[in-house]
Amino acid sequence: GAGVSQSPRYKVAKRGQDVALRCDPISGHVSLFWYQQALGQGPEFLTYFQNEAQLDKSGLPSDRFFAERPEGSVSTLKIQRTQQEDSAVYLCASSRRGRGGDQPQHFGDGTRLSIL
Amino acid sequence: QKEVEQNSGPLSVPEGAIASLNCTYSDRGSQSFFWYRQYSGKSPELIMSIYSNGDKEDGRFTAQLNKASQYVSLLIRDSQPSDSATYLCAVSNPNTGNQFYFGTGTSLTVIP
């Protein structure tokens, strides 16, 4: 496809369950980002990949959050033992290779995660 | 202190008027600046990027950057009801990585 694709669009889980969110970036984009967006807030950075290398995971809120991009294309964000505070929209973005965030990031439609 | 600040609004303007959206940032090392539009329940959509001081125009949109004042703005001329959305300001600093720092967004309503 032409844009960033995320699945599922909506995910409801019970507290304590594990969830996995998928992102398929724009073809040829080497940089991939995950953001968390709470209601009424701007996106907050979680982690960044360049190809398959996770170069920055400073935004992951706890060790329950794990992301991977094993072949440098599709990425998965996994949240273990979900808590209610994990409820948010998880956005994936991709961009061309750049330096220091100078390339525009293109966002998927996000996964809206609700923890009951 | 948040790194990127925007007035949350709501900002209401009549159709055909100029909408002015403002953003200030605290990191003086920031070098890349972006405006995104986000409709309710949708993903952020890139409108403009700006890297140098001054104005950059694209159709009805003009971005203005003043690094000395740590200020970036977006002007929307001839506002249309379809411009009603939340506008997000994003900033990046090459010395702190590739991520964007976003403001909380300004909600704009264009009244027909």
Instruction: Please tell me the predicted confidence (pLDDT) of residue B96.
Output: 81
What CA–CA distance (Å, rounded) separates B100 from B102?
Answer: 6
The band of B1, judged by pLDDT with boundaries at 50, 70 and 90, is low
Distance of residue B11 Cα from the nearest chain A Cα, in angstroms: 15
The closest CB to that of A101, out of B42, B43, B99, belongs to B99
Averaged pLDDT, B37-48: 94
Instruction: Please tell me the predicted confidence (pLDDT) of residue B2.
Output: 65
Residues within 8 A of A (CB atoms), B 35-54 only: 36, 42-46, 49, 51
Strand partners, B55: B64
Averaged pLDDT, B35-41: 94
Amino acid at A63: D
Do A43 and B100 count as a contact with CB atoms less than 8 A apart? yes
Considering only CA atoms, which of B32, B26, B51 is closest in space to residue B97? B32
Q: Is B30 on the interface with A (CB under 8 A)?
A: no
The closest CB to that of B104, out of A41, A100, A105, belongs to A41
**Looking at chain A, which residue has its C-alpha nearest residue B49?**
A104
The answer, yes or no, to whether residue A1 has pLDDT greater than 80, is: no
- Dihedral angle of Cα A27, A30, A36, A40, to the nearest 10 degrees: -70
| Number of CB pairs, chain A paired with chain B, less than 8 A apart | 77
Q: Is B58 on the interface with A (CB under 8 A)?
A: no
Write out pLDDT tens, residues B52-89. Answer: 999 999 999 999 999 999 999 999 999 999 999 999 99
Averaged pLDDT, A59-83: 96
Q: What pairing do the DSSP bridges indicate for beta strands A75-79 and A65-68?
A: antiparallel
Do B31 and A110 count as a contact with CB atoms less than 8 A apart? no
Averaged pLDDT, A25-41: 94
Instruction: Please tell me the predicted confidence (pLDDT) of residue A101.
Output: 79
* Candidate from A50-59, A96-105, B79-88 with smallest mean pLDDT: A96-105
Q: Is A1 on the interface with B (CB under 8 A)?
A: no
Residues of B with CB below 8 A from A106's CB?
Answer: 46
Do B99 and A48 count as a contact with CB atoms less than 8 A apart? yes
